[in-house]
Amino acid sequence: MTFWKTFGKSTVGGIVGYLAGILAGFWFTEDYITLIFPVVGTLSGVVWAKLSSNPTANLDKPLAEPVHIQESMATDRPLASTLTEDRPVNRLSSSSPAPVVEQEAVPPIFQPVLEYLAVLEDMVISEGQKNNLDNEIVEKSCSLFLRLQRVLPMLGELHNDEINHTVKRLVLKDLNSIINPFLRLSGEAKSKNRRVLLDGIKDVDSRITHIVKTIEHKDLMELQTRAELLHQRYS
């Protein structure tokens, strides 16, 4: 900042303040009020000269801030990468295979049936992984287990004791009597008697189909009867 530059700008400020004081004299009669404007103008000129002599003074500090920002970002990157690496682990650890049928949806009479079906399914899959059972036996057995698991809640809604007793005996007695003895056979005996097991699975599946069709037929007959009653009542 040079002397002449400061003097020039303070002079300009003083002149502007003097002119403003003259204009203010038309509204204010007191002299001390009009004298304030030249003083303020001169001080403004001095401040103006100081600011213009070092225009980059206010820019030095912001230029240094990105360095700190970059350093903070660099320190945050390992934490972010750690979180992204941990997410798949947490997702895998929290996820678990959901059962096909919720046990709460099955009536108490079918709880032992549902549990036993899960045991049979684990046994068949385990023997299949050990190559003690061929793919056809594993697929048809698991298909039957899955169908029974889906049918049980529907049967429970009917509250038919006769059907419930039939299905319970079909699984705990009939299905058990053909699968468990077969699993205890040797490899050669399994190959010779595999058709016996497949026929037994087919018979159980056919029995379930018959029960489901009987229920559907009863529902259809009930629907038709109620529809006819409504038609007679409102026609």
Quote the pLDDT of residue 220: 72
The CA distance from 99 to 111, in Å, is 14
**pLDDT tens-digit readout, 106-163:** 778 889 999 999 999 999 999 999 999 999 999 999 999 999 998 888 887 777 888 8
Record the tokens describing residue 216, joined without a space: 């559907």
CA 8 – CA 144 distance, rounded (Å): 103
pLDDT in tens, 24-64: 555 554 555 555 655 555 566 555 556 665 544 444 444 44
Provide the b/e sequence for 104-122 (b: ≥16 CB within 10 Å).
eebeeebeebbebbbebbe
- Nearest C-alpha neighbor of 177 from the set 222, 103, 120, 122: 120
pTM above 0.75, yes or no: no
